[in-house]
Amino acid sequence: MYSRLRSSLFSFGPERAHALTLLALGLAGKLKLTHWALSKIFKAPDKPVEAFGLKFRNPLGIAAGYDKNGMAIRGLEALGFGHAEIGTVTPRPQLGNPPPRVFRLLEDQAVINRLGFPSRGSEFVQKQLNPYFQARISKKYFGVVPSEKNLTVGMIDKGNLLLGVNIGKNKETPNEKAALDYVSLVDNFAPYADYFAVNISSPNTAGLRDLQEKHALANLLKHIHDQRTLSEKQHEKRLPVLVKLSPDLSEAELNEALEVILNAHMDGIIVTNTTLAREGLTSHHQREAGGLSGKPLAVKSEAVLRQTVQQVNGAVPIVSVGGIMTPDDAKRRLEMGAALIQLYTGLVYRGPGLATEIIRHL
Ligand SMILES: Cc1cc2nc3c(=O)[nH]c(=O)nc-3n(C[C@H](O)[C@H](O)[C@H](O)COP(=O)(O)O)c2cc1C
pLDDT tens-digit readout, 107-123: 999 999 999 999 999 99
Q: How many domains does the chain have?
A: 1
> Which of ligand 1's atoms lies nearest the C-alpha of 64?
17
Distance CA 39, CA 55 (A): 20
pLDDT tens digits for range 30-80: 999 999 999 999 999 999 999 999 999 999 999 999 999 999 999 999 999
Answer yes or no: is the C-beta of 273 below 6 A from any ligand 1 atom: yes
Catalytic choice (119, 122, 201, 202): 202
> Could you tell me the CA-to-CA distances from 140 to 31, 58, 132, 238 in Å, in that order?
14, 22, 10, 23
Say if CB 168 and CB 88 are below 8 A apart: yes
Q: Is 184 a catalytic residue?
A: no
Answer yes or no: is the C-beta of 63 below 6 A from any ligand 1 atom: yes
Answer yes or no: is the C-beta of 290 below 6 A from any ligand 1 atom: no
Q: CATH number, domain at 106? A: 3.20.20.70
For residue 66, report the distance from its CA to the centre of ligand 1, in Å.
7
pLDDT band at residue 3, thresholds of 50, 70 and 90? confident
Most informative mutation of 293, 318, 329 for ligand 1 (most atoms within 8 A of CB) = 293
pLDDT band at residue 139, thresholds of 50, 70 and 90? low
For 310-347, the three-class secondary structure string (H helix, E strand, C coil) is HHHCCCCCEEEECCCCCHHHHHHHHHCCCCEEEECHHH
Residue nearest (by alpha carbon) to ligand 1 atom 6: 65
Phi, then psi, of 295 in degrees rounded to 5: -50, -45
Domain of residue 193: give its range. Answer: 2-361
pLDDT band at residue 152, thresholds of 50, 70 and 90? very low
> Which of ligand 1's atoms lies nearest the C-alpha of 270?
19
